[in-house]
Amino acid sequence: MKYSIWEEKIVFNDHYKIVQAKVTYDTFNGKQITAKRLAFERGDSVAILILEKETKSVLLTNQFRYPSCKNNNGWLLEIPAGSIEENEEPEKCVTREVMEELGYRINNPKLISTFYTSPGASTERIYLFFTEVSQHDKTGKGGGNVSENEDIQLVKIPVSDIASEILKLKDAKTILALQWYLLKSCASF
């Protein structure tokens, strides 16, 4: 099956971009569809599930999210995450973000998966990682990047509470990471 993209143009350009294009693509019954489509170009991101060994807890962030307050959820619990900068490797980005947000030094994060956040609207992919840390790896202040007006609180959830807490969460990447962890814990990978 084939597709073509034409008449692509930027229709909004600020912190993020929105691109409009005409696309033609093959259908499953052998015909073609031509349509106008929009894409939110956000860039790629990283996220990481962190297990602190001594406390047997996962480390989450609690921070204000303007878009989610539209549904009365101003502060969300999430795994640490952030945007990949131009020419930055995902592993370097996730290491930087964990130090900025939580103050932990991490080594050798393991890639779990790469996925689209909302493929019908956004070009963003998330590189999802996992790592274990020690309490001794907390070498920085954390709390977020002051120049980005971040105010981030560290929250530790005991592994034994994940199953009961997961349905209270509202962030998809965090739910996905915790489900992966629960499946990993139940099976021998």
79 with 156, same domain?
Answer: yes
CA 110: distance to chain centroid? 15
- Count up the domains in the chain and report the number: 2
49 with 36, same domain?
Answer: no
Tell me the residue type at 87: N
35 with 60, same domain?
Answer: no
74 with 9, same domain?
Answer: no
36 with 52, same domain?
Answer: no
36 with 129, same domain?
Answer: no
> What pLDDT does 189 receive?
46
Query: Which runs of consecutive H residues, i.e. helices, occur in the chain?
Result: 66-69, 90-102, 162-165, 172-186
76, β-bridge pairs: 63
What distance in Å separates the CA atoms of residue 22 and residue 94, rounded to the nearest whole number? 35
159 with 107, same domain?
Answer: yes
Supply φ then ψ for residue 102, to 5 degrees: -120, -20
152 with 68, same domain?
Answer: yes
Q: Running DSSP on this structure, what letter comes out for residue 117?
A: S
Sheet order of strands, 32-41 included: 3-13, 17-26, 32-41
The model's pTM: 0.93
Q: Are 48 and 106 contacting, i.e. CB atoms less than 8 angstroms apart?
A: yes
Instruction: pLDDT tens for the chain, 189 residues: list them.
Output: 999 999 999 999 998 999 999 999 999 999 999 999 999 999 999 999 999 999 999 999 999 999 999 998 899 999 999 999 999 999 999 999 999 999 999 999 999 999 999 999 999 999 999 999 999 999 999 999 989 899 999 999 999 999 999 999 999 999 999 999 999 988 654
20 with 81, same domain?
Answer: no
Supply φ then ψ for residue 167, to 5 degrees: -75, -15
What is the span of the domain harbouring residue 127?
45-186
69 with 156, same domain?
Answer: yes
113 with 136, same domain?
Answer: yes
> What pLDDT does 137 receive?
98
Q: Which helix (H) or strand (E) holds 6?
A: strand 3-13
16 with 50, same domain?
Answer: no
Name the nearest CA neighbour of 3 among 22, 23, 25, 21.
25
Q: Are 81 and 100 contacting, i.e. CB atoms less than 8 angstroms apart?
A: no
What distance in Å separates the CA atoms of residue 96 and residue 111, rounded to the nearest whole number? 16
For residue 117, give the CATH number of its domain: 3.90.79.10
> What pLDDT does 188 receive?
52
